Amino acid sequence: MKTMITLGIAGLLVASMAFGSAVNLIEDYRNAGAGPFSQSEGRSAWIQQHQSSDGGDARSCSSCHGTDLTQPGRHIKTGKPIEPMAPSVNPARLTDPKKVEKWFRRNCRWTLGRECSPQEKGDFIRYISKP
């Protein structure tokens, strides 16, 4: 009985931590004046094609991550597989705010040629969190 309770509490803690970090980021973006956030805006931004400044093929988030976030993606430059983005199948996703911000910075620069705004990042998180 005691073990069950301990396990239950541990489970809750893990769940709230995992859920908590995406929520913290959303909170940060709200504090930056953004919101409300929209899953459908996130979805359209995800597949939006951007012309690259170096004359290469147009690029989008889906170029590497695909459009079915429960499936693995493939890095368009290196060909390396990328684990699924959806937290429902890959619980490590969106749990580490530093990692999320680092990759937003890198991927937005590469894909859009600039950093994403807090509004765009919040919309992406809503979209990635859902499937």
Q: Which residues bind ligand HEC (CB under 6 A)?
A: 59, 61, 63-65, 75-77, 82-83, 93-94, 99-100, 103-104, 107-108, 110-112, 124
Complex with ligand HEC: residue 5 or 57, whichever CB lies closer: 57
Considering beta carbons, is residue 35 or 117 the nearer one to ligand HEC? 117
CB of 83 to ligand HEC, least distance (A): 5
**For residue 94, is it left (φ>0), alpha (ψ between -120 and 50) or beta?**
left
The C-alpha angle with vertex 38 and arms to 35 and 43, in degrees rounded to 5, equals 135
> Which tokens hold the place of 102?
């680092």
Torsion angle of C-alpha atoms 107, 113, 114, 115, degrees rounded to 10: -10
Measured from the CB atom, is 6 or 51 closer to ligand HEC? Answer: 51
Question: Nearest distance from residue 125's CB to ligand HEC, in Å?
Answer: 7
